[in-house]
Structure 1
């Protein structure tokens, strides 16, 4: 079948596009030769994904608790935003572990070991608080038993501490993680949670706390 001039030009353009695309893939692959194809289980990438997934899960739980303990729209809106954001981020991190073929929980490895903070073995978790900023079991029980302004103030204080711990962990990933998309997510966590810390300080001030 003979092609007219227009059809021939179109075929040539497609062929050139495929050629350039192939070259781009080759260059990109060459750029990544020095980096491992997937993180190993002991890497900062895997450690951060595991630990922050646990850290986020408590924030989601705390946020759902306070939504049932107060009618204040500002607190309920903040709680919804935190729960929604951190549940989505948690899903991403667990998904990466699946993609990398790594376990979501690794026995014998203390939380924060990837940051050089684990492995001491001298003390256990403080009343269920596995990582910096996490609420203890006692504090979670207090939140579940509170209502109204008391629940709002307790939630804002606990979540402020929780965010500060989360920022510390995310900054560790920004420095130590090797996967670009994970480092970008970690930096996004730092920026968003620092902003929410300021917001919660204002909310506590309005409540005289």
Structure 2
């Protein structure tokens, strides 16, 4: 497991190095991969807006658990998730700036996936996998093993929702580099879901769903 987490940390560095190149490339992405400037309510814009919000919660969650446990593996995983998703969030918002599109929409979240009429789960949960406000507050009250387990459970749910959204972009987005980023999210988060399942098992727990 330590070797796997080490690989993830290395992968984060690679993502950070590539970020500038990808952000620049999207401005010129056209031709066979689709139009360089998507419409405001396109899948490309919708994914960028919604995943930026989704990622922000993962960053917050990860920094909370880093203050609630001294376990090296959990802290390392949380730091890596926070860094990776903060970087990706910056890329998504940067693309919206390049496209001169708003970062918020009058339409409900997930409308670009045909899920705009999805009922809110309550207490702050906006999209699939997102924790509620109550769950975020609870995480901030736990310590040690309890904090580790709850974080791993919340982040597993969060990743499952993220994979669902990213798969939607792979299927519906038209900008080539955005589709590539989405596929990278699918691959990385599926791997982390497996890792977190092992970490939960080591703690005598399992994912919530």
Q: TM-score range by the shorter chain?
A: 0.7 to 0.9
Answer whether contact 1:69 1:147 (CA < 8 A) is retained.
yes
TM-score, L = length of structure 1? 0.82
Q: Residues 178 and 154 from structure 1, CA distance in 2 versus in 1: closer, same or farther, beyond 3 angstroms? A: same
Counterpart in the other structure of 1:52: 51
Counterpart in the other structure of 2:197: 201
Question: Aligned to 2:140, what secondary structure does the other structure show?
Answer: helix
Counterpart in the other structure of 1:109: 107
- How far the C-alpha of 1:34 sits from its partner, in A, is 9.6
Aligned positions of 1:85-100 closer than 5 A: 85-100=84-99
Flag the structure with more relative contact order, 1 or 2, with Cα contacts below 8 A and sequence separation at least 6. 2
- How far the C-alpha of 1:187 sits from its partner, in A, is 0.2
Q: Which runs of 5+ in 1 are unaligned?
A: 1-27
TM-score, L = length of structure 2? 0.82
For residues 143 and 184 of structure 1, the distance between their equivalents in structure 2, rounded to whole angstroms, comes to: 33
Q: Residues 170 and 34 from structure 1, CA distance in 2 versus in 1: closer, same or farther, beyond 3 angstroms? A: closer
Residue deviations 1:98-145 (CA, integer Å, cap 9, x gap): 000001111x2100000000036xx44511000000000110010000
For residues 191 and 137 of structure 2, the distance between their equivalents in structure 1, rounded to whole angstroms, comes to: 27
Answer whether contact 2:69 2:148 (CA < 8 A) is retained.
yes
For residues 93 and 121 of structure 2, the distance between their equivalents in structure 1, rounded to whole angstroms, comes to: 23
Counterpart in the other structure of 2:19: none
For residues 184 and 72 of structure 2, the distance between their equivalents in structure 1, rounded to whole angstroms, comes to: 26
Question: Aligned to 1:126, what secondary structure does the other structure show?
Answer: coil
Q: Residues 33 and 68 from structure 1, CA distance in 2 versus in 1: closer, same or farther, beyond 3 angstroms? A: closer
1:138 to 134, 140, 143: 134
Aligned positions of 1:11-90 closer than 5 A: 32=31, 35-90=34-89
CA radius of gyration, larger in: 1
Counterpart in the other structure of 2:159: 163
CA RMSD of superposed structures (Å): 1.8
Aligned: 1:150 with 2:149: no
- How far the C-alpha of 1:82 sits from its partner, in A, is 0.1
- How far the C-alpha of 1:35 sits from its partner, in A, is 4.1
